[in-house]
Amino acid sequence: MITLKKKNMLCMIFILEIVLVFGIFSPDSFYQHERNHLYPYNITDSHAEASVYGPPRSYINIHPPSEPLVQYGGFKPSFPIFPSIPQFQPQLFSSSPFSSDFGQPVTPAGLGAPDTAPIGAGCAPLANPCTNGKYRTLDGTCNNLKYPTWGAANTKYGRLVAPKYADGISSPPTSVQGQEPLPLARLVSIVMFPDLPVPDPLWTLVTMSWGQVITHDMSMAVGTTQAKRHSTRCCDDNGRLLSNNNPHCFSIIIPEDDPVFSKYNRMCMNFVRSTTDIDSGCNPGTQPAEQLVAVTHWMDASLVYGNSIQVNSLLREQAGGRLRVEFKDHRPFPPTTRNKTAVCDLPSEREPCYQFGDRRANQNTQLTVLQILLLREHNRIATVLSHINPHWDDETLFQEARRILIAEYQHINYYEYLPIILGTENMLKYKLIYKTKGYTKDYKENVDPSVLNGHATAAFRYFHSAIQGHFQLIEEGRHVVDSARLSDFFNRPVIIEENGNLDHLTRGLATQSQEEVDPFFTSEITDFLFRRERPFGRDLRAIDIQRSRDHGLGSYNDYREFCGLQRAHKFEDFLDFIDPERVEKLAVLYAHPDDVDFTVGGSLEAHAPGTLAGPTFLCILLEQFYRTRVSDRYFYELGGQPGSFSPEQLREIRKASLARIFCDNSDEIHTMQPSAFLKISASNPLVACSDYDKIPAIDLNYWKESPHGSYLYEDYKKK
Ligand code: HEM
């Protein structure tokens, strides 16, 4: 049954169609595409497509094709599209009034509850003075010696534009027109982000999953569970709204005629607000609320090592610098978590559930596979180092292996992964990467490393679009042996250990396409997220939208303005980057252009050439990853720091690749394509893992220490 509201909406869409067709909006570019070209997308043969763009790896691994990868539904404005990002400049020294405060405090995340901020977290001064050590701290303190708590766990997200709370302090925003509520997040999800599966012609599924690794390394909103059912109940078990007046509840209301949830009479999806500095007692409630990040903001592989000394000591074997593993069939797997039911959703206690540095690691199969491979890579490095330097103790081996793993990981992130989503040219232009064989000198003490709320709550979440509804298990000849439904294995890693599946899943990650990054999202996450054994689950897109309101994120228009784009005064002003059909729908859903959520508007923009994002998201992503790099005193390419590598070691680190990590840490994978993010093709063919010319490996002999404590590889070689 269609409700009155929906009827009105359909009616309005119809009227808008007429308005558009007869040119009442009349921007020229509006009519210059054929409406029937909007869908379906052009799906091209992936192998042929990949080879057109030439060799995949060179100094910087990915060359962007000269044409946009995503022909946005055939919509082509008449003007040259996105020659560059208008007026975008990374905000080099911007400590905006909304950024994290200086001198933020840290209470290390407690063992049992890494996602709940201890009262007082975020406001007490740092107890211990910093030492300028060779190794990063585990909780992220003391990276910046002037502002020692910058980037530490349990400090605030940064902000680029003023928060948008209805009461100016913390209540979720309403329409700028007359305090009306914003459109239901679930309705926006249904209308704007349907499921239309289009495999990405170029990028493999690990491109999606690696993005999630980076996300989990850099942020997790305090007070959210992100994988498990939340202990705070805002809806009852039958999906009815509870009138418990819990101030942390901000339930997602389900439209009456919801295509999925109405069948089960669900009216309410549980949603608990993130913890803020007001909740933790650091803001008396006179300043706008700021949400807290439970993990370190740095790109420091904290998802492998934990975000506190306590969690880290739980993970370590305390021998040989290794992390703990459990051997199953002579193969190392992560240790079993102490409280399986608190972490995983298991039909049987006999199924595995792992302990990692990040509590979300069991959330989905691909993510868990990558966490396992990173754990094995740490132990591989520690073991090799222990042979090279038999005099090193457990702590030295652990810290050196950690330092090398973080460096490999940063190298893969900046030179292999990020160019795919941000474009190599942009990364060079805005100094996120360099064409140098030496050190970089770009450390900036005054750049705040805080993960930006607009990045974590909107821009980076756009890549939820790349999630595949099904994942493939692939054997060595690259034939698909099986495929599984994503929602059958949320919080349930059992499939990984069965029948040598770790390798099948790893090959699947490097072979199967990711879903194209576009305004379509698989129903496995929009209808079936965390469904356990139920016929329905949650809606991640609706959660993304609701979370952006919970965090009082500035509107799409605010972010456009921040990025140097035109502020829209009427809906058709959005036509510069959003196709007409979608602008029509926005005009129906929202009362005013200023109401359009950043998460929504940004996800609808046509992509800038050679990137996987439209200009507004691109601007925020570039800003974030610029800051993450230059604010990090331990960034692997930097010279002149106690943690800097020798020039020879740096040259070795620059050989790191995801393909090599897959080769070295799987059980029985013998072939891999050199660029694991790029689909197998004539220019990125499968090669033997033993072919070190094609998939180079780091020579850890350069870490051989002389009796005097310095690295003298030349001396070592002479011996
Ligand atoms: C199967 C894959 C994935 C699943 C099931 C998933 C699920 C989730 C869930 C449940 C949340 C928490 C939502 C909330 O309560 O606000 C979340 C947050 C987030 N996700 Fe994903 N996600 C996946 C992949 C990705 C990918 C590929 C990216 C980016 C490349 C990404 C980026 C983010 C970000 C930035 C956040 C916010 C983190 C924070 O709290 O600061 N996710 N995701």
Helix 580-589 to helix 4-21 angle (10° resolution) is 140
Mean local confidence (pLDDT), 93-100:
33
The strand pair at 326-328 and 687-688 is best described as unpaired
Contact status, residue 107 vs residue 154, Cβ threshold 8 Å: yes
Q: Token match 């763009």: residue?
A: 53
- What contacts 34, CB < 8 A, 6 or more positions away? 74
Q: Pick 201 or 709 by higher pLDDT.
A: 201
Mean local confidence (pLDDT), 171-197:
96
Q: How confident is the model at residue 113 (pLDDT cuts 50, 70, 90)?
A: very low
Q: Report CA(462)–ligand 1 centroid distance (Å).
A: 9
Nearest CA to ligand 1 atom 17: 226
CA distances from 656 to 94, 167, 659 (A): 32, 50, 8
Residue type, 447: V
CA 651 remoteness from chain centre: 28
Tell which residue, 337, 300, 329, has the closest CA to residue 451.
300
Q: Quick check: CB of 224 below 6 Å from ligand 1?
A: yes
Q: In 3-state terms, what secondary structure has residue 486? A: helix
Q: Report CA(230)–ligand 1 centroid distance (Å).
A: 16
* 216 catalytically annotated: yes
Phi, psi of 529, deg, nearest 5 = -60, 130
Q: Report CA(625)–ligand 1 centroid distance (Å).
A: 17
Residue type, 282: C
Q: Report CA(213)–ligand 1 centroid distance (Å).
A: 10
Q: How confident is the model at residue 629 (pLDDT cuts 50, 70, 90)?
A: very high
Nearest CA to ligand 1 atom 9: 226
Atom of ligand 1 nearest to the CA of 215: 35
Taking the C-alpha atoms of residue 447 and residue 455, their distance in angstroms, rounded to an integer, is: 16
Q: Token match 């200023």: residue?
A: 594
The token pair that represents 696 in the structure block = 């180079």
Q: Quick check: CB of 606 below 6 Å from ligand 1?
A: no
Q: What is the DSSP track for 517-580?
A: SSS---HHHHT-BT-TTSS--B-HHHHHHHHHHHTTPPBHHHHHHHTTPPPPSSGGGGGGTB-H
Q: Quick check: CB of 547 below 6 Å from ligand 1?
A: yes
Contact status, residue 118 vs residue 176, Cβ threshold 8 Å: no
Q: Quick check: CB of 418 below 6 Å from ligand 1?
A: no
Q: Where do the H-state alpha helices sit in 572-699?
A: 580-589, 598-604, 615-630, 647-653, 658-665
Predicted TM-score (pTM) of the model is 0.86
Average pLDDT value over all residues in the chain: 85
Nearest CA to ligand 1 atom 15: 226
Mean local confidence (pLDDT), 32-37:
22
Q: Report CA(460)–ligand 1 centroid distance (Å).
A: 8
Q: How confident is the model at residue 21 (pLDDT cuts 50, 70, 90)?
A: very low
Q: Pick 40 or 552 by higher pLDDT.
A: 552
The token pair that represents 57 in the structure block = 């790896």
3-state secondary structure 272-341: ECCCECCCCCCCCCCCCCCEEECCCCCCCCHHHHCCCHHHHHHHECCCCCCECCEEECCEEECCECCCHH
In sequence order, what E strands does 189-266 have? 199-204, 252-253
Percent of the chain with pLDDT over 90: 78
Q: Which residues of 517-532 are buried (b: 16+ CB within 10 A; e: fewer)?
A: bbbbbbbbbbbbbbbe
Atom of ligand 1 nearest to the CA of 547: 16
Q: Quick check: CB of 211 below 6 Å from ligand 1?
A: yes
Taking the C-alpha atoms of residue 330 and residue 328, their distance in angstroms, rounded to an integer, is: 5
Phi, psi of 470, deg, nearest 5 = -130, 145
Tell which residue, 85, 92, 105, 136, has the closest CA to residue 629.
92
Active-site residue identified among 216, 411, 464, 592: 216
Contact status, residue 398 vs residue 321, Cβ threshold 8 Å: yes
Contact status, residue 71 vs residue 22, Cβ threshold 8 Å: no
CA 48 remoteness from chain centre: 29
- What contacts 134, CB < 8 A, 6 or more positions away? 399, 403, 642, 643
Q: Is the pLDDT of residue 10 over 50?
A: no
Summarised one tens digit per residue, pLDDT across range 682-704 is 999 999 999 999 999 999 999 99
Q: Is the pLDDT of residue 98 over 80?
A: no
Mean local confidence (pLDDT), 671-678:
98
Residue 226 is predicted with a pLDDT of 80
Residue 47 is predicted with a pLDDT of 25
Residue 122 is predicted with a pLDDT of 53
- What contacts 621, CB < 8 A, 6 or more positions away? 421, 422, 455, 459, 460, 613
Q: Quick check: CB of 212 below 6 Å from ligand 1?
A: yes
Summarised one tens digit per residue, pLDDT across range 340-362 is 999 999 999 999 999 999 999 99
Residues 609, 610, 616, 617, Cα dihedral to 10°: 160
Q: Pick 678 or 245 by higher pLDDT.
A: 678
Q: Quick check: CB of 460 below 6 Å from ligand 1?
A: yes
Q: Report CA(227)–ligand 1 centroid distance (Å).
A: 9
Summarised one tens digit per residue, pLDDT across range 458-517 is 999 999 999 999 999 999 999 999 999 999 999 999 999 999 899 999 999 999 999 999
Q: Quick check: CB of 456 below 6 Å from ligand 1?
A: yes
Atom of ligand 1 nearest to the CA of 456: 35
Q: How confident is the model at residue 603 (pLDDT cuts 50, 70, 90)?
A: very high
Residue 69 is predicted with a pLDDT of 24
Q: Is the pLDDT of residue 707 over 90?
A: no
Contact status, residue 542 vs residue 185, Cβ threshold 8 Å: yes
Q: Pick 374 or 42 by higher pLDDT.
A: 374
Phi, psi of 306, deg, nearest 5 = 85, 170
Q: Report CA(461)–ligand 1 centroid distance (Å).
A: 6
Q: Is the pLDDT of residue 74 over 70?
A: no
Q: How confident is the model at residue 228 (pLDDT cuts 50, 70, 90)?
A: confident
Taking the C-alpha atoms of residue 660 and residue 653, their distance in angstroms, rounded to an integer, is: 12
Q: Pick 317 or 719 by higher pLDDT.
A: 317
Summarised one tens digit per residue, pLDDT across range 278-337 is 999 999 999 999 999 999 999 999 999 999 999 999 999 999 999 999 999 999 999 999
3-state secondary structure 11-72: HHHHHHHHHHHCCCCCCHHHHCCCHHHCCCCCCCCHHHHHHHCCCCCCCCCCCCCCCCCCCC
The strand pair at 268-269 and 292-293 is best described as unpaired
The token pair that represents 544 in the structure block = 């993304």
Q: Quick check: CB of 220 below 6 Å from ligand 1?
A: yes
Q: Among 228, 461, 523, which residue has the most ligand 1 atoms within 8 Å of its CB, making it the best to mutate?
A: 461
**Interface pTM, i.e. ipTM:** 1.00
Mean local confidence (pLDDT), 76-103:
37
